[in-house]
């Protein structure tokens, strides 16, 4: 399993189609760096909302990993809306 990736590295790799074997924490860091904020945790799913978008992001952890289709979904949203990566505060 790869080490922890920065949001920029994960976004770059995912935009090239490398969406498997992504740690859940790395995907959460990417989503938050894109400006999404945790709205609620409903059992296993973590629901994230962006203050300027109507789309929600639903993330689920499976054995410490993010689901590949959710990595693709986040990547498509980031590219579609040209969302900038923000530093953690």
pLDDT tens per residue across span 28-42: 999 999 999 999 998
CA distance 32 to 47: 12
The predicted model scores a pTM of 0.92
- Residue pair 65/23 in contact (Cβ under 8 Å)? The answer is yes
Mean residue pLDDT of the chain comes to 93
The token pair that represents 62 in the structure block: 């499976």
Is 62 strand, coil or helix?
A: strand
Instruction: For the chain, give the number of residues.
Output: 89
Residue with tokens 């909302």: 49
CATH fold of 7-80, please?
Metal Transport, Frataxin; Chain A (3.30.920)
Q: Which residues are within 8 A (CB) of 68 and not within 5 positions of it... i.e. 6 or more apart? A: 19, 20, 22
Q: Is the pLDDT assigned to residue 75 strictly greater than 90?
A: yes
pLDDT at position 87 is: 78
Q: Is the pLDDT assigned to residue 46 strictly greater than 50?
A: yes
């Amino acid at each position: 399993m790869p080490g922890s990736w920065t949001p920029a590295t994960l976004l770059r790799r995912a935009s090239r189609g490398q969406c498997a074997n992504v740690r859940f924490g790395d995907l959460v860091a990417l989503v938050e760096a894109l400006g999404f904020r945790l709205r609620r945790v409903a059992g296993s799913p973590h629901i994230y909302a962006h203050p300027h978008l109507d789309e929600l992001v639903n993330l689920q952890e499976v054995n410490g990993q993010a689901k590949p289709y959710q990595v693709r979904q986040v990547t498509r949203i980031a590219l579609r809306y040209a969302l900038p990566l923000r530093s953690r505060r």
